[in-house]
Amino acid sequence: GAVVSQHPSWVICKSGTSVKIECRSLDFQATTMFWYRQFPKQSLMLMATSNEGSKATYEQGVEKDKFLINHASLTLSTLTVTSAHPEDSSFYICSARQDGRMGEKLFFGSGTQLSVL
Amino acid sequence: GQNIDQPTEMTATEGAIVQINCTYQTSGFNGLFWYQQHAGEAPTFLSYNVLDGLEEKGRFSSFLSRSKGYSYLLLKELQMKDSASYLCAVKNYGQNFVFGPGTRLSVLP
C-alpha cells in the first residue's frame, strides 16, 4: 500500500515553544491531508483538513492560530503547534487521501507523540 | 449529521472467531472502511466496502448492508497479535472520513 511518512515520532518540548510536525506522502500525490489528535484509549479526533495550495479547514473548537497547517506541495503538509502548553500533549496523526479507481483511501503516518513540559 | 457506533470492548480466545459490529447513520454514503490500530501506533487499513456484501481478505472479512446502515468485521483464527483497536470509518460524498469510537479487542490465550 501507499506510504505516508510522519516526522518526528516523538518530541518533548518546554511550555511556550513551538513544534512542527511533517507529513509526507512518499509514493503518491495527495491533494488532501488530514490532521488528527488522539487521546489515550480514544478514537481519532479530526482537527483539520489540509488542502494543497489553499487554506486549511479547521473543525469546530480547533484554534487555527494555535495549530498552523501548511500544505505547500502535493506531498507535504506540516502542522505547527505554536506556544505549546501541557494540555497540548497528545498523539498527533496525519493521513493522506489517495484517489484511485477503487475510490478514495486514507493512509496514515506513524504518528507523533508530543509531550509538553 | 453523522453517527457511528461500535462496541467499546470485546474479548475473545486465541484461535476463535470474532465479529465486530458497526452501525452508522449518514447521508450521501460513499464507502465504509475498517482500520486496525495497535496502542501507540497509527491506524492501518484493513478493508473497504462500498457495495453490499462480504469482502474477504485472508483471515479478515468485512460485510456491508447499506439499507441497514450496518457493517461488521470478522476475524478468524484469532492470534495474540490481533489484540488492537478496530476503527470503523464512513466516507460521504464531498466530506471527510468520520471515525467511530473504536472497539478494543483483547485476545486471550
- Please check whether residue B55 is in contact with residue B33, taking contact to mean a CB–CB distance below 8 angstroms: no
Please give the Cα distance from B49 to B63 (Å, whole number): 7
- Please check whether residue B14 is in contact with residue B105, taking contact to mean a CB–CB distance below 8 angstroms: no
Give the pLDDT band (50/70/90) at residue A101. low
Buried b (16+ CB within 10 A) or exposed e, A22-35: bbbbeebebebbbb
The partner residue sitting opposite A104, judged by closest CB among B41, B91, B98, is B91
- Report pLDDT digits (tens) over B62-77: 999 999 999 999 999 9
Give the pLDDT band (50/70/90) at residue A51. confident
B33, B87, B99, B104: which to substitute to probe chain A, counting the most A Cβ within 10 Å?
B99
Buried b (16+ CB within 10 A) or exposed e, A81-111: beebeeebbbbbbbbbbbeeeeebbbbbbbb
Residue-by-residue DSSP string for chain B: --EEE--SEEEEETT--EEEEEEEE-SSEEEEEEEEE-TTS--EEEEEE-SSEEEEETTEEEEEETTTTEEEEEE-S--GGG-EEEEEEEEETTS-EEE---EEEEEE-
- Report pLDDT digits (tens) over B19-57: 999 999 988 888 899 999 998 788 888 998 999 999 998
Give the pLDDT band (50/70/90) at residue A1. low
Which residue in the block uniquely carries the three cell numbers 498523539?
A91
Query: If contacts are CB pairs under 8 Å, which of residues 5-24 in chain A contact chain B?
Result: 6
